[in-house]
Amino acid sequence: MNSEPTTLLPGTLDLLILKSLATGELHGLGISRRIQQITGGTFVVKPGSLFPALHRMEEEGWTSSFWGDSENNRRAKYYRLTKAGRKQLEVESRRWGRISWAITQALQAS
């Protein structure tokens, strides 16, 4: 549970969004909250970052969306993973594993 939100590391936003949708469909701000939750408050993704990414990902075919009602009875666009999206989540998870291993490795070098 970190106090100060950190700037996002470029290249990790898609991964976080994909992961946040892995447990079920969510609307935009729901995704944002979930990311904040699962990263222990470290990352806060604002609308201006989130929605362009969602649109990009929908074009890639990783998510699909539909209009519905939010918990508060407001209109909200829900997003969910497609099959390709689940695959992409695996791909990016493995990529993250490699990268974080390599950098941790590098930082321990003498």
Partner DNA sequence: AGTCTACCTATAGAATGTCAATAGGAAGTA
Partner DNA sequence: TACTTCCTATTGACATTCTATAGGTAGACT
Contact positions vs its own copies (CB under 8 A): 2, 6, 9-12, 15-16, 19-20, 23, 35, 37-40, 42-43, 93, 95-96, 98-107, 109-110
What lies within 8 Å, CB to CB, of 85 at 6+ separation is: 18, 21, 57, 61, 62, 63
**Binds 39, which of its own copies, DNA, none (CB < 5 to 8 A, cut-off by type)?**
its own copies
Nearest distance from C-beta of residue 26 to its own copies, angstroms? 13
**Binds 82, which of DNA, its own copies, none (CB < 5 to 8 A, cut-off by type)?**
none
What lies within 8 Å, CB to CB, of 84 at 6+ separation is: 60, 61, 62
